[in-house]
DNA sequence: TCGAATTTGTGCGTATGTATC
DNA sequence: GGATACATACGCACAAATTCG
Protein backbone atom coordinates (compact mmCIF):
# COMPACT_ATOMS: atom_id res chain seq x y z
CA UNK A 1 0.00 0.00 0.00
CA UNK A 2 1.62 3.27 -1.11
CA UNK A 3 1.03 5.46 1.89
CA UNK A 4 1.66 9.11 1.13
CA UNK A 5 4.50 10.76 3.03
CA UNK A 6 3.28 13.41 5.50
CA UNK A 7 4.76 16.37 3.67
CA UNK A 8 2.91 15.48 0.46
CA UNK A 9 -0.32 15.10 2.40
CA UNK A 10 0.11 18.56 3.90
CA UNK A 11 0.95 19.99 0.48
CA UNK A 12 -2.39 18.66 -0.75
CA UNK A 13 -4.18 20.17 2.23
CA UNK A 14 -2.65 23.58 1.49
CA UNK A 15 -3.36 23.26 -2.21
CA UNK A 16 -6.96 22.39 -1.53
CA UNK A 17 -7.49 25.34 0.78
CA UNK A 18 -6.31 27.61 -2.00
CA UNK A 19 -8.56 25.84 -4.50
CA UNK A 20 -11.50 26.30 -2.11
CA UNK A 21 -10.64 29.97 -1.71
CA UNK A 22 -10.07 29.63 2.01
CA UNK A 23 -6.90 31.52 1.11
CA UNK A 24 -6.79 33.59 -2.05
CA UNK A 25 -4.08 35.30 -4.09
CA UNK A 26 -1.94 37.60 -1.97
CA UNK A 27 -3.11 36.21 1.36
CA UNK A 28 -0.58 35.42 4.02
CA UNK A 29 -0.71 31.87 5.35
CA UNK A 30 -0.65 31.19 9.08
CA UNK A 31 2.85 30.65 10.42
CA UNK A 32 4.44 27.25 10.12
CA UNK A 33 4.12 26.70 13.86
CA UNK A 34 0.38 27.30 13.67
CA UNK A 35 -0.17 25.01 10.71
CA UNK A 36 1.99 22.33 12.30
CA UNK A 37 0.03 22.40 15.51
CA UNK A 38 -3.30 22.43 13.71
CA UNK A 39 -2.37 19.40 11.63
CA UNK A 40 -0.65 17.64 14.49
CA UNK A 41 2.68 17.28 12.74
CA UNK A 42 6.22 18.63 12.93
CA UNK A 43 7.04 22.14 11.85
CA UNK A 44 9.55 20.83 9.37
CA UNK A 45 6.92 18.85 7.51
CA UNK A 46 5.06 22.08 6.84
CA UNK A 47 8.27 23.64 5.61
CA UNK A 48 8.84 20.82 3.11
CA UNK A 49 5.27 21.06 1.87
CA UNK A 50 5.57 24.83 1.44
CA UNK A 51 8.92 24.48 -0.35
CA UNK A 52 7.28 22.12 -2.81
CA UNK A 53 4.44 24.53 -3.53
CA UNK A 54 6.87 27.45 -3.75
CA UNK A 55 8.92 25.58 -6.36
CA UNK A 56 5.69 25.05 -8.29
CA UNK A 57 4.84 28.72 -8.13
CA UNK A 58 1.74 28.21 -5.99
CA UNK A 59 3.13 29.90 -2.91
CA UNK A 60 5.71 32.58 -2.35
CA UNK A 61 7.99 32.84 0.67
CA UNK A 62 9.09 36.22 2.03
CA UNK A 63 11.79 36.07 4.67
CA UNK A 64 10.82 37.70 7.91
CA UNK A 65 7.29 38.27 6.74
CA UNK A 66 5.47 35.07 5.93
CA UNK A 67 4.37 32.65 3.24
CA UNK A 68 1.90 34.02 0.73
CA UNK A 69 -0.40 32.70 -1.97
CA UNK A 70 1.29 33.67 -5.24
CA UNK A 71 -0.47 36.21 -7.42
CA UNK A 72 -1.28 34.70 -10.82
CA UNK A 73 0.27 37.46 -12.87
CA UNK A 74 -0.12 37.70 -16.59
CA UNK A 75 2.88 36.36 -18.39
CA UNK A 76 4.63 38.42 -20.98
CA UNK A 77 4.70 36.85 -24.42
CA UNK A 78 8.10 37.05 -26.09
CA UNK A 79 7.86 36.26 -29.79
CA UNK A 80 10.94 35.08 -31.60
CA UNK A 81 10.50 34.85 -35.35
CA UNK A 82 11.64 36.36 -38.60
CA UNK A 83 8.60 38.61 -38.70
CA UNK A 84 9.71 40.21 -35.45
CA UNK A 85 12.33 42.34 -37.13
CA UNK A 86 10.80 45.64 -38.05
CA UNK A 87 12.30 48.19 -40.45
CA UNK A 88 12.44 50.59 -37.54
CA UNK A 89 12.04 50.21 -33.81
CA UNK A 90 13.27 47.40 -31.60
CA UNK A 91 11.98 43.82 -31.55
CA UNK A 92 11.42 44.00 -27.80
CA UNK A 93 9.30 47.12 -27.99
CA UNK A 94 7.18 45.44 -30.67
CA UNK A 95 6.56 42.50 -28.33
CA UNK A 96 5.43 44.82 -25.58
CA UNK A 97 3.23 46.88 -27.85
CA UNK A 98 1.42 43.71 -28.90
CA UNK A 99 0.54 43.14 -25.24
CA UNK A 100 -0.49 46.70 -24.54
CA UNK A 101 2.48 47.14 -22.26
CA UNK A 102 5.15 49.74 -22.21
CA UNK A 103 8.53 48.38 -23.20
CA UNK A 104 11.68 50.02 -21.88
CA UNK A 105 15.21 49.08 -21.16
CA UNK A 106 18.34 50.17 -19.46
CA UNK A 107 21.72 49.44 -20.93
CA UNK A 108 25.37 49.83 -20.15
CA UNK A 109 27.91 49.63 -22.95
CA UNK A 110 31.63 49.07 -22.70
CA UNK A 111 33.99 49.12 -25.68
CA UNK A 112 37.19 47.18 -26.25
CA UNK A 113 36.37 44.41 -23.81
CA UNK A 114 38.57 41.36 -24.52
CA UNK A 115 36.47 38.44 -25.70
CA UNK A 116 36.30 35.48 -23.28
CA UNK A 117 36.91 32.05 -24.79
CA UNK A 118 33.27 31.05 -25.22
CA UNK A 119 32.23 34.36 -26.78
CA UNK A 120 35.23 34.32 -29.10
CA UNK A 121 34.20 30.88 -30.30
CA UNK A 122 30.67 32.01 -31.00
CA UNK A 123 31.84 35.12 -32.87
CA UNK A 124 34.53 33.27 -34.80
CA UNK A 125 37.32 35.52 -33.52
CA UNK A 126 40.41 34.93 -31.41
CA UNK A 127 40.17 34.89 -27.63
CA UNK A 128 41.02 38.30 -26.22
CA UNK A 129 40.05 40.23 -29.35
CA UNK A 130 38.36 43.53 -28.45
CA UNK A 131 34.57 43.56 -28.36
CA UNK A 132 31.75 45.96 -27.60
CA UNK A 133 29.80 44.57 -24.67
CA UNK A 134 26.36 45.83 -23.78
CA UNK A 135 24.41 44.70 -20.74
CA UNK A 136 20.64 45.13 -21.01
CA UNK A 137 17.82 45.02 -18.53
CA UNK A 138 14.45 44.94 -20.25
CA UNK A 139 11.37 46.25 -18.48
CA UNK A 140 7.67 45.70 -19.11
CA UNK A 141 5.63 48.41 -17.46
CA UNK A 142 8.65 49.16 -15.32
CA UNK A 143 9.23 45.61 -14.08
CA UNK A 144 12.31 43.68 -15.21
CA UNK A 145 11.38 40.73 -17.42
CA UNK A 146 14.51 39.93 -19.37
CA UNK A 147 18.29 40.24 -19.09
CA UNK A 148 20.72 40.25 -21.95
CA UNK A 149 24.44 40.60 -22.49
CA UNK A 150 25.39 41.35 -26.06
CA UNK A 151 28.83 41.07 -27.70
CA UNK A 152 29.95 42.50 -31.04
CA UNK A 153 33.45 42.38 -32.54
CA UNK A 154 34.89 45.85 -32.11
CA UNK A 155 36.57 45.71 -35.50
CA UNK A 156 33.22 45.32 -37.24
CA UNK A 157 31.82 48.68 -36.24
CA UNK A 158 34.90 50.66 -35.19
CA UNK A 159 34.89 54.14 -36.63
CA UNK A 160 31.25 54.00 -37.73
CA UNK A 161 28.20 55.71 -36.28
CA UNK A 162 26.88 52.45 -34.88
CA UNK A 163 29.82 51.47 -32.66
CA UNK A 164 27.67 51.96 -29.62
CA UNK A 165 24.45 49.92 -29.81
CA UNK A 166 22.56 52.36 -27.62
CA UNK A 167 24.19 55.59 -28.76
CA UNK A 168 24.21 57.72 -31.90
CA UNK A 169 21.46 58.16 -34.49
CA UNK A 170 20.69 54.43 -34.70
CA UNK A 171 20.18 53.79 -31.00
CA UNK A 172 17.56 51.30 -29.88
CA UNK A 173 16.51 49.84 -33.21
CA UNK A 174 18.02 46.38 -32.86
CA UNK A 175 21.07 44.69 -34.33
CA UNK A 176 19.61 44.02 -37.78
CA UNK A 177 18.82 47.66 -38.50
CA UNK A 178 22.07 48.93 -37.06
CA UNK A 179 24.14 46.59 -39.19
CA UNK A 180 22.12 47.52 -42.26
CA UNK A 181 23.12 51.14 -41.66
CA UNK A 182 26.76 50.26 -42.27
CA UNK A 183 26.08 47.99 -45.21
CA UNK A 184 26.06 44.63 -43.44
CA UNK A 185 23.06 42.48 -44.31
CA UNK A 186 22.00 40.19 -41.46
CA UNK A 187 20.49 37.06 -42.97
CA UNK A 188 19.65 34.83 -40.07
CA UNK A 189 19.88 34.20 -36.36
CA UNK A 190 20.59 31.03 -34.45
CA UNK A 191 19.09 30.63 -31.01
CA UNK A 192 19.94 27.95 -28.52
CA UNK A 193 17.53 27.90 -25.57
CA UNK A 194 18.67 26.06 -22.49
CA UNK A 195 16.77 25.50 -19.24
CA UNK A 196 18.55 26.27 -16.01
CA UNK A 197 18.10 27.86 -12.61
CA UNK A 198 18.62 31.54 -11.98
CA UNK A 199 21.80 32.59 -10.24
CA UNK A 200 21.47 34.67 -7.08
CA UNK A 201 22.37 37.80 -9.04
CA UNK A 202 19.85 37.14 -11.80
CA UNK A 203 17.12 36.39 -9.27
CA UNK A 204 17.77 39.69 -7.58
CA UNK A 205 17.82 41.66 -10.84
CA UNK A 206 14.64 40.01 -12.11
CA UNK A 207 12.84 40.13 -8.78
CA UNK A 208 12.14 36.40 -8.81
CA UNK A 209 12.56 33.65 -6.25
CA UNK A 210 16.00 32.23 -5.76
CA UNK A 211 16.86 29.34 -8.09
CA UNK A 212 13.68 29.90 -10.10
CA UNK A 213 13.62 28.39 -13.58
CA UNK A 214 14.81 30.48 -16.48
CA UNK A 215 15.49 29.95 -20.15
CA UNK A 216 19.00 30.96 -21.13
CA UNK A 217 19.15 31.68 -24.85
CA UNK A 218 22.44 31.93 -26.69
CA UNK A 219 21.64 33.97 -29.78
CA UNK A 220 23.97 34.72 -32.66
CA UNK A 221 23.21 36.89 -35.67
CA UNK A 222 24.96 36.05 -38.95
CA UNK A 223 25.57 38.22 -41.99
CA UNK A 224 24.68 36.98 -45.46
CA UNK A 225 28.36 36.12 -45.79
CA UNK A 226 27.87 33.64 -42.98
CA UNK A 227 29.94 35.70 -40.58
CA UNK A 228 28.77 36.14 -36.97
CA UNK A 229 28.09 39.82 -36.27
CA UNK A 230 26.64 39.68 -32.78
CA UNK A 231 26.06 37.14 -30.04
CA UNK A 232 24.08 37.51 -26.86
CA UNK A 233 23.19 35.67 -23.67
CA UNK A 234 19.55 36.24 -22.89
CA UNK A 235 17.93 35.22 -19.61
CA UNK A 236 14.15 34.93 -19.47
CA UNK A 237 12.33 33.91 -16.27
CA UNK A 238 9.78 31.15 -16.85
CA UNK A 239 7.32 32.44 -14.29
CA UNK A 240 6.94 35.80 -15.99
CA UNK A 241 7.43 35.18 -19.68
CA UNK A 242 6.33 32.69 -22.28
CA UNK A 243 8.57 32.28 -25.28
CA UNK A 244 7.04 31.69 -28.70
CA UNK A 245 8.90 30.64 -31.82
CA UNK A 246 7.08 30.97 -35.14
CA UNK A 247 8.57 28.72 -37.77
CA UNK A 248 7.51 28.92 -41.41
CA UNK A 249 7.33 25.58 -43.21
CA UNK A 250 8.74 25.65 -46.71
CA UNK A 251 8.01 22.92 -49.18
CA UNK B 1 33.35 38.30 6.95
CA UNK B 2 31.57 35.91 4.57
CA UNK B 3 32.78 32.57 5.85
CA UNK B 4 31.91 29.73 3.52
CA UNK B 5 29.55 27.06 4.92
CA UNK B 6 31.20 23.65 5.29
CA UNK B 7 29.18 21.91 2.60
CA UNK B 8 30.25 24.47 -0.01
CA UNK B 9 33.86 24.05 1.02
CA UNK B 10 33.61 20.27 0.60
CA UNK B 11 31.90 20.75 -2.76
CA UNK B 12 34.90 22.76 -3.87
CA UNK B 13 37.27 20.09 -2.60
CA UNK B 14 35.44 17.43 -4.61
CA UNK B 15 35.27 19.66 -7.67
CA UNK B 16 38.98 20.33 -7.48
CA UNK B 17 39.87 16.67 -7.21
CA UNK B 18 37.95 16.06 -10.42
CA UNK B 19 39.65 19.03 -12.08
CA UNK B 20 43.02 17.65 -11.01
CA UNK B 21 42.10 14.22 -12.38
CA UNK B 22 42.42 12.56 -8.99
CA UNK B 23 39.05 11.16 -9.97
CA UNK B 24 38.08 11.00 -13.64
CA UNK B 25 34.89 10.38 -15.58
CA UNK B 26 33.17 7.19 -14.54
CA UNK B 27 35.15 6.74 -11.33
CA UNK B 28 33.34 5.86 -8.17
CA UNK B 29 33.97 8.21 -5.28
CA UNK B 30 34.79 6.87 -1.81
CA UNK B 31 31.72 6.38 0.36
CA UNK B 32 30.26 9.30 2.28
CA UNK B 33 31.56 7.90 5.55
CA UNK B 34 35.11 7.72 4.20
CA UNK B 35 35.09 11.26 2.79
CA UNK B 36 33.52 12.58 5.98
CA UNK B 37 36.19 11.01 8.17
CA UNK B 38 38.99 12.12 5.88
CA UNK B 39 37.81 15.72 5.93
CA UNK B 40 36.93 15.65 9.60
CA UNK B 41 33.30 16.64 9.11
CA UNK B 42 29.82 15.16 9.42
CA UNK B 43 28.56 12.63 6.94
CA UNK B 44 25.61 14.82 6.10
CA UNK B 45 27.81 17.67 4.98
CA UNK B 46 29.28 15.38 2.35
CA UNK B 47 25.80 14.42 1.27
CA UNK B 48 24.82 18.07 0.80
CA UNK B 49 27.96 18.78 -1.17
CA UNK B 50 27.35 15.78 -3.41
CA UNK B 51 23.71 16.74 -3.92
CA UNK B 52 24.85 20.15 -5.11
CA UNK B 53 27.29 18.68 -7.61
CA UNK B 54 24.74 16.12 -8.74
CA UNK B 55 22.24 18.89 -9.47
CA UNK B 56 24.94 20.59 -11.53
CA UNK B 57 25.62 17.45 -13.50
CA UNK B 58 29.17 17.04 -12.18
CA UNK B 59 28.44 13.89 -10.19
CA UNK B 60 25.93 11.12 -10.56
CA UNK B 61 24.38 9.17 -7.70
CA UNK B 62 23.42 5.54 -8.06
CA UNK B 63 21.37 4.19 -5.17
CA UNK B 64 22.97 1.28 -3.43
CA UNK B 65 26.06 1.50 -5.54
CA UNK B 66 27.88 4.75 -5.05
CA UNK B 67 28.50 8.28 -6.26
CA UNK B 68 30.26 8.57 -9.60
CA UNK B 69 31.95 11.26 -11.66
CA UNK B 70 29.49 11.99 -14.49
CA UNK B 71 30.58 11.04 -17.99
CA UNK B 72 30.67 14.12 -20.23
CA UNK B 73 28.60 12.63 -23.02
CA UNK B 74 28.19 14.26 -26.36
CA UNK B 75 24.91 16.07 -26.56
CA UNK B 76 22.52 15.45 -29.39
CA UNK B 77 21.79 18.53 -31.46
CA UNK B 78 18.11 18.97 -32.21
CA UNK B 79 17.56 21.52 -34.98
CA UNK B 80 14.23 23.24 -35.20
CA UNK B 81 13.84 25.32 -38.34
CA UNK B 82 11.90 25.56 -41.55
CA UNK B 83 14.71 23.85 -43.44
CA UNK B 84 14.26 20.80 -41.29
CA UNK B 85 11.20 19.61 -43.16
CA UNK B 86 12.29 17.29 -45.94
CA UNK B 87 10.15 16.16 -48.87
CA UNK B 88 10.53 12.65 -47.56
CA UNK B 89 11.76 11.15 -44.31
CA UNK B 90 11.21 12.45 -40.81
CA UNK B 91 12.68 15.59 -39.26
CA UNK B 92 14.04 13.59 -36.34
CA UNK B 93 15.88 11.11 -38.53
CA UNK B 94 17.45 14.02 -40.43
CA UNK B 95 18.75 15.45 -37.14
CA UNK B 96 20.32 12.14 -36.22
CA UNK B 97 21.84 11.62 -39.65
CA UNK B 98 23.56 15.00 -39.35
CA UNK B 99 25.27 13.72 -36.20
CA UNK B 100 26.21 10.34 -37.61
CA UNK B 101 23.80 8.66 -35.24
CA UNK B 102 21.04 6.22 -35.92
CA UNK B 103 17.60 7.68 -35.32
CA UNK B 104 14.74 5.41 -34.33
CA UNK B 105 11.52 5.68 -32.45
CA UNK B 106 8.78 3.70 -30.87
CA UNK B 107 5.21 4.87 -30.99
CA UNK B 108 1.80 3.92 -29.72
CA UNK B 109 -1.26 5.35 -31.41
CA UNK B 110 -4.79 5.48 -30.10
CA UNK B 111 -7.75 6.76 -32.11
CA UNK B 112 -10.88 8.56 -30.91
CA UNK B 113 -9.37 9.79 -27.67
CA UNK B 114 -11.49 12.65 -26.26
CA UNK B 115 -9.51 15.89 -26.27
CA UNK B 116 -8.65 17.27 -22.81
CA UNK B 117 -9.37 20.94 -22.25
CA UNK B 118 -5.86 22.22 -22.92
CA UNK B 119 -5.38 20.20 -26.10
CA UNK B 120 -8.82 21.21 -27.37
CA UNK B 121 -7.86 24.85 -26.87
CA UNK B 122 -4.67 24.42 -28.82
CA UNK B 123 -6.41 22.60 -31.68
CA UNK B 124 -9.32 25.00 -31.77
CA UNK B 125 -11.90 22.26 -31.19
CA UNK B 126 -14.41 21.55 -28.44
CA UNK B 127 -13.34 19.70 -25.31
CA UNK B 128 -14.06 16.01 -25.62
CA UNK B 129 -13.91 15.94 -29.42
CA UNK B 130 -12.27 12.74 -30.68
CA UNK B 131 -8.57 12.89 -31.48
CA UNK B 132 -5.81 10.60 -32.64
CA UNK B 133 -3.19 10.47 -29.92
CA UNK B 134 0.30 9.13 -30.56
CA UNK B 135 2.94 8.72 -27.89
CA UNK B 136 6.51 8.69 -29.16
CA UNK B 137 9.80 7.74 -27.66
CA UNK B 138 12.71 8.86 -29.81
CA UNK B 139 16.02 7.03 -29.66
CA UNK B 140 19.51 8.03 -30.76
CA UNK B 141 21.69 4.97 -31.17
CA UNK B 142 19.19 3.07 -29.05
CA UNK B 143 19.14 5.53 -26.14
CA UNK B 144 16.00 7.57 -25.42
CA UNK B 145 16.59 11.27 -26.04
CA UNK B 146 13.15 12.74 -26.58
CA UNK B 147 9.52 12.12 -25.64
CA UNK B 148 6.53 13.39 -27.52
CA UNK B 149 2.77 13.13 -27.31
CA UNK B 150 0.99 14.19 -30.48
CA UNK B 151 -2.69 15.06 -30.94
CA UNK B 152 -4.60 15.43 -34.20
CA UNK B 153 -8.33 16.07 -34.62
CA UNK B 154 -9.87 12.75 -35.68
CA UNK B 155 -12.23 14.48 -38.07
CA UNK B 156 -9.34 15.87 -40.09
CA UNK B 157 -7.96 12.54 -41.24
CA UNK B 158 -10.85 10.13 -40.65
CA UNK B 159 -11.35 7.83 -43.60
CA UNK B 160 -8.04 8.70 -45.25
CA UNK B 161 -4.87 6.68 -45.54
CA UNK B 162 -3.07 8.90 -43.04
CA UNK B 163 -5.38 8.47 -40.06
CA UNK B 164 -2.65 6.65 -38.22
CA UNK B 165 0.57 8.71 -38.06
CA UNK B 166 2.73 5.61 -37.87
CA UNK B 167 0.71 3.28 -40.08
CA UNK B 168 -0.13 3.00 -43.77
CA UNK B 169 1.96 4.07 -46.75
CA UNK B 170 2.88 7.43 -45.25
CA UNK B 171 4.24 6.18 -41.95
CA UNK B 172 7.18 7.92 -40.36
CA UNK B 173 7.55 10.92 -42.65
CA UNK B 174 6.35 13.65 -40.32
CA UNK B 175 3.18 15.67 -40.02
CA UNK B 176 3.86 18.03 -42.91
CA UNK B 177 4.26 15.30 -45.50
CA UNK B 178 1.33 13.28 -44.21
CA UNK B 179 -1.00 16.26 -44.37
CA UNK B 180 0.23 17.09 -47.85
CA UNK B 181 -0.85 13.61 -48.94
CA UNK B 182 -4.46 14.46 -48.19
CA UNK B 183 -4.30 17.92 -49.68
CA UNK B 184 -3.68 19.95 -46.54
CA UNK B 185 -0.81 22.42 -46.85
CA UNK B 186 0.96 23.05 -43.57
CA UNK B 187 2.29 26.59 -43.62
CA UNK B 188 3.89 27.14 -40.26
CA UNK B 189 4.53 25.82 -36.78
CA UNK B 190 4.45 27.59 -33.45
CA UNK B 191 6.70 26.32 -30.69
CA UNK B 192 6.58 27.35 -27.06
CA UNK B 193 9.58 26.07 -25.11
CA UNK B 194 9.28 26.07 -21.36
CA UNK B 195 11.88 25.03 -18.78
CA UNK B 196 10.81 22.66 -16.05
CA UNK B 197 11.93 19.64 -14.09
CA UNK B 198 11.32 16.11 -15.29
CA UNK B 199 8.54 14.15 -13.65
CA UNK B 200 9.44 10.79 -12.09
CA UNK B 201 7.93 9.00 -15.08
CA UNK B 202 9.80 11.09 -17.64
CA UNK B 203 13.06 10.65 -15.77
CA UNK B 204 12.62 6.90 -15.82
CA UNK B 205 11.71 6.81 -19.53
CA UNK B 206 14.63 9.06 -20.49
CA UNK B 207 17.11 7.41 -18.16
CA UNK B 208 18.01 10.69 -16.49
CA UNK B 209 18.34 11.78 -12.88
CA UNK B 210 15.17 12.58 -11.01
CA UNK B 211 14.02 16.18 -11.33
CA UNK B 212 16.65 16.88 -13.99
CA UNK B 213 16.03 19.91 -16.17
CA UNK B 214 14.09 19.47 -19.39
CA UNK B 215 12.66 21.72 -22.05
CA UNK B 216 8.96 21.12 -22.58
CA UNK B 217 7.93 22.34 -26.03
CA UNK B 218 4.31 22.85 -26.96
CA UNK B 219 4.28 22.68 -30.75
CA UNK B 220 1.33 23.31 -33.02
CA UNK B 221 1.26 22.96 -36.81
CA UNK B 222 -1.11 25.22 -38.75
CA UNK B 223 -2.51 24.80 -42.26
CA UNK B 224 -2.33 27.64 -44.76
CA UNK B 225 -5.94 28.34 -43.76
CA UNK B 226 -4.69 29.12 -40.29
CA UNK B 227 -6.29 26.03 -38.83
CA UNK B 228 -4.38 23.92 -36.30
CA UNK B 229 -3.80 20.44 -37.67
CA UNK B 230 -1.61 18.91 -35.00
CA UNK B 231 -0.27 19.78 -31.58
CA UNK B 232 2.34 18.00 -29.52
CA UNK B 233 4.03 18.07 -26.13
CA UNK B 234 7.70 17.40 -26.56
CA UNK B 235 10.07 16.74 -23.66
CA UNK B 236 13.80 17.15 -24.26
CA UNK B 237 16.33 16.53 -21.46
CA UNK B 238 18.86 19.37 -21.15
CA UNK B 239 21.74 17.11 -20.18
CA UNK B 240 21.53 15.09 -23.37
CA UNK B 241 20.27 17.44 -26.05
CA UNK B 242 20.93 20.95 -27.23
CA UNK B 243 18.11 22.67 -29.03
CA UNK B 244 18.86 24.97 -31.94
CA UNK B 245 16.43 27.32 -33.64
CA UNK B 246 17.44 28.79 -36.97
CA UNK B 247 15.56 31.96 -37.74
CA UNK B 248 15.74 33.67 -41.11
CA UNK B 249 15.73 37.46 -41.01
CA UNK B 250 13.58 39.02 -43.67
CA UNK B 251 13.85 42.65 -44.56
C1' DT C 1 19.69 -18.54 -4.68
C1' DC C 2 19.56 -15.86 -1.01
C1' DG C 3 20.64 -12.87 2.56
C1' DA C 4 23.81 -9.75 4.80
C1' DA C 5 26.68 -5.72 4.29
C1' DT C 6 27.32 -1.45 2.01
C1' DT C 7 25.83 2.76 -0.03
C1' DT C 8 22.79 6.13 -1.58
C1' DG C 9 18.24 8.40 -0.93
C1' DT C 10 14.41 10.29 2.10
C1' DG C 11 11.98 12.03 6.00
C1' DC C 12 12.11 14.71 9.87
C1' DG C 13 14.02 17.18 13.94
C1' DT C 14 16.88 20.92 16.07
C1' DA C 15 19.92 24.95 16.26
C1' DT C 16 21.10 29.11 14.30
C1' DG C 17 21.00 32.97 10.99
C1' DT C 18 18.52 36.80 9.10
C1' DA C 19 14.94 39.66 7.28
C1' DT C 20 10.66 42.07 8.50
C1' DC C 21 7.50 44.46 11.23
C1' DG D 1 15.39 46.96 19.74
C1' DG D 2 12.47 43.05 20.48
C1' DA D 3 9.33 39.65 18.61
C1' DT D 4 8.10 36.94 14.86
C1' DA D 5 8.66 34.26 10.79
C1' DC D 6 11.15 32.35 7.09
C1' DA D 7 15.90 30.46 5.48
C1' DT D 8 19.88 27.61 6.17
C1' DA D 9 22.90 24.21 8.04
C1' DC D 10 23.48 19.98 10.01
C1' DG D 11 22.44 15.49 12.42
C1' DC D 12 20.09 11.07 12.99
C1' DA D 13 17.20 7.18 11.70
C1' DC D 14 15.46 4.37 8.33
C1' DA D 15 14.11 2.88 3.64
C1' DA D 16 15.54 1.34 -0.90
C1' DA D 17 18.78 -0.26 -4.07
C1' DT D 18 22.83 -2.68 -5.14
C1' DT D 19 26.59 -5.75 -4.51
C1' DC D 20 28.82 -9.80 -3.17
C1' DG D 21 29.92 -13.87 -0.68
SS3 letters for chain A? CCCCCHHHHHHHHHHHHHHCCCCCCCCECCCHHHHHHHHCCCHHHHHHHHHHHHHCCCEEEECCCEEEECCCCCCEEEEECHHHCCCCCCHHHHHHHHCCCCEEEEEEEEEEEECCHHHHHHHCCCCCCEEEEEEEEEEECCEEEEEEEEEEEHHHHCCCCCCCCCCCCCCCCCHHHHHHHCCCCEEEEEEEEEEEECCHHHHHHHCCCCCCEEEEEEEEEEECCCCEEEEEEEEEECCCEEEEEEEECCC
Chain B residues close to A246, C-beta within 8 Å: 188-190
Q: What is the mean pLDDT of residues A100-107?
A: 89
State which of A9-18, A39-48, A125-134, B93-102 shows the largest mean pLDDT: A125-134
Note the pLDDT of residue A141.
87
Low-confidence ranges of chain B (pLDDT < 70): 1-3, 87-88, 251
Note the pLDDT of residue A251.
63
Question: What's the pLDDT band for A204 if we cut at 50, 70, 90?
Answer: confident
Note the pLDDT of residue B88.
67
Note the pLDDT of residue A165.
83
Q: What is the mean pLDDT of residues A121-139?
A: 96
Note the pLDDT of residue B1.
45
Chain C nucleotides reached by a protein CB under 7 Å: 5-14, 17-21
Say which nucleotide is closest to residue B209, CA to C1' distance: C9
Reply yes or no on whether the pLDDT at A250 is more than 80: no
What is the distance in angstroms measured between the alpha-carbon CA of A44 and the sugar C1' of C13? 7
Reply yes or no on whether the pLDDT at A6 is more than 60: yes
Question: What's the pLDDT band for A94 if we cut at 50, 70, 90?
Answer: confident
Note the pLDDT of residue A95.
86
Q: What is the mean pLDDT of residues A166-176?
A: 83
Taking an 8 Å cut-off on Cβ atoms, the answer to whether A251 and B213 are in contact is no
Which is higher by pLDDT, A170 or B68? B68
Q: What is the mean pLDDT of residues A226-233?
A: 97
Q: What is the mean pLDDT of residues A184-196?
A: 95
Amino acid sequence: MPEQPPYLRIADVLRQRIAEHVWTAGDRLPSRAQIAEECGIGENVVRRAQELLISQGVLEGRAGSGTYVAEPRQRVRVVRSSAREQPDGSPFRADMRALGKQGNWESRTEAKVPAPAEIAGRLGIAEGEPCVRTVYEFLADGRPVQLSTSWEPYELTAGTLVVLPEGGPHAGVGVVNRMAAIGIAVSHAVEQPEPRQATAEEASLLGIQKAALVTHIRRTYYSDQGQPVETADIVIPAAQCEIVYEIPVNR
